[in-house]
Amino acid sequence: MTRLLHWPEPRTDLPRPPGARAVAGSAHVWFERLRAMDAARAPASPALDAADRLAASRPVLPGLPADRPLVMGIVNVTPDSFSDGGEAFARADAVTRARAQLDAGADILDIGGESTRPGAADVPVAEEIARTAPVIAALRAAGIATPISIDTRKAVVAAAALREGADMVNDVAALTHDPELGPLVAEAGVPLCLMHAQGTPQTMQIGPRYDDVLVEVFLWLAERMRAAEAHGIDRAKLIVDPGIGFGKTLEHNVTLLKGLALMHDLGAPVLLGASRKRFIGTLSGVELAGARLAGSLAVALHAAGQGARILRVHDVAETVQALALWRALTKERA
């Protein structure tokens, strides 16, 4: 049997018609109509339970609201990260930046010790652990209870982070890099973000190709969800991410963002990381990654309007401020 894909038409305008349904439990984004198609984009009749599935709430972690976009603050502990440069290397500096993000309203912190930007070199695991685990330990020792995500493709790095108190794993390779990561996440029982990439960080920007990027990313993520489940990971613990910039041209990124709401049919919370990325520079003519805040906010609000549940961003205070206004203006009752 071929998989039908259901695409809710996401809206935020008010007032809502009587038949409006929440998109993935959102208090802000709703749909009235959905389209069904097969993988060749031939129109089909929607499955009977599709609207219920698309409307269902998808909690990310206990204690975090399930009806609004969450802000995930990026805490790079890498000397070569493309937007933070060498300044971010010092662990003490990472702890300071993490605390500032929490003060600014971050819901989750994403700690990473390996740059996965295009062309980046591999980091030895011992070094990746030395960059990340002590930062998590320091935050927990300071009494910070906010959920922490470890951004890694490697089981030993994730294990060290979870021991120090991390709550979830963010794997940009969606369990294709390290065969030990799936079993580890299953055993730990923590949420896992599966991100789509075509190729590896070294090769991904060399001529990425798709026949239909939206459908192919969808089907690839569906397959990775099945692979995660085969490791014993609970389907309800999975988060999905189309992987903006990971083996994608400008056109691929734009197509994925315009059609982001299709990803809700995977039945998992949708995470989006677009902050300061190259396509923002390309579309706006802003060369410097650190000067791409306005474009990053525009994309964050677009993703919120598509029902994205987690926005992974560098500029937490500004994103929280933009979302506060977006929430006020899209909520049915004040």
d(CA 127, CA 68): 36
**Among the residue ranges 5-13, 206-214, 270-278, 318-326, the one whose residues contact ligand 7PJ (CB under 6 A):** 270-278
117 binds ligand 7PJ (CB under 6 A): yes
**Among the residue ranges 176-184, 204-212, 237-245, 318-326, the one whose residues contact ligand 7PJ (CB under 6 A):** 237-245
248 binds ligand 7PJ (CB under 6 A): no
198 binds ligand 7PJ (CB under 6 A): no
- State the catalytic residue, choosing from 21, 277, 292, 309: 277
Verify whether residue 312 is a known catalytic residue: yes
Three-class SS of the chain: CCCCEEEECCECCCCCCCCCEECCCCCCCEECCEEEECCCCCEECCCCCHHHHHHCCCCCCCCCCCCCCEEEEEEECCCCCCCCHHHHHCHHHHHHHHHHHHHCCCCEEEEECCCCCCCCCCCCHHHHHHHHHHHHHHHHHCCCCCCEEEECCCHHHHHHHHHCCCCEEEECCCCCCCCCHHHHHHHHCCCEEEECCCCCCCCCCCCCCCCCHHHHHHHHHHHHHHHHHHCCCCHHHEEEECCCCCCCCHHHHHHHHHCHHHHHHHCCCEEEECCCCHHHHHHHCCCCHHHCHHHHHHHHHHHHHCCCCEEEECCHHHHHHHHHHHHHHHCCCC
> Cβ of residue 217: shortest distance to ligand 7PJ, in angstroms?
12
Residues from 154 through 173 that contact ligand 7PJ (CB under 6 A):
170, 172
193 binds ligand 7PJ (CB under 6 A): yes
Candidates 150, 195, 257, 320; binder of ligand 7PJ (CB under 6 A) is 195
Q: Which residue is nearest to ligand 7PJ (CB)?
A: 273
131 binds ligand 7PJ (CB under 6 A): no
191 binds ligand 7PJ (CB under 6 A): no
116 binds ligand 7PJ (CB under 6 A): yes
Candidates 69, 191, 247, 273; binder of ligand 7PJ (CB under 6 A) is 273
> Cβ of residue 22: shortest distance to ligand 7PJ, in angstroms?
24
> Cβ of residue 81: shortest distance to ligand 7PJ, in angstroms?
8
Verify whether residue 226 is a known catalytic residue: no
> Cβ of residue 128: shortest distance to ligand 7PJ, in angstroms?
14
Please classify residue 225 by burial: count the beta carbons closer than 10 Å to its beta carbon, then call 0-12 exposed, 13-18 middle and 19+ buried: buried
Candidates 6, 312, 319, 323; binder of ligand 7PJ (CB under 6 A) is 312
Kindly list the residues in this chain that would bind ligand 7PJ in the complex (CB under 6 A).
74, 116-117, 151, 170, 172, 193, 195, 241, 243-244, 271, 273, 277, 312
Q: Which residues are catalytic?
A: 277, 312
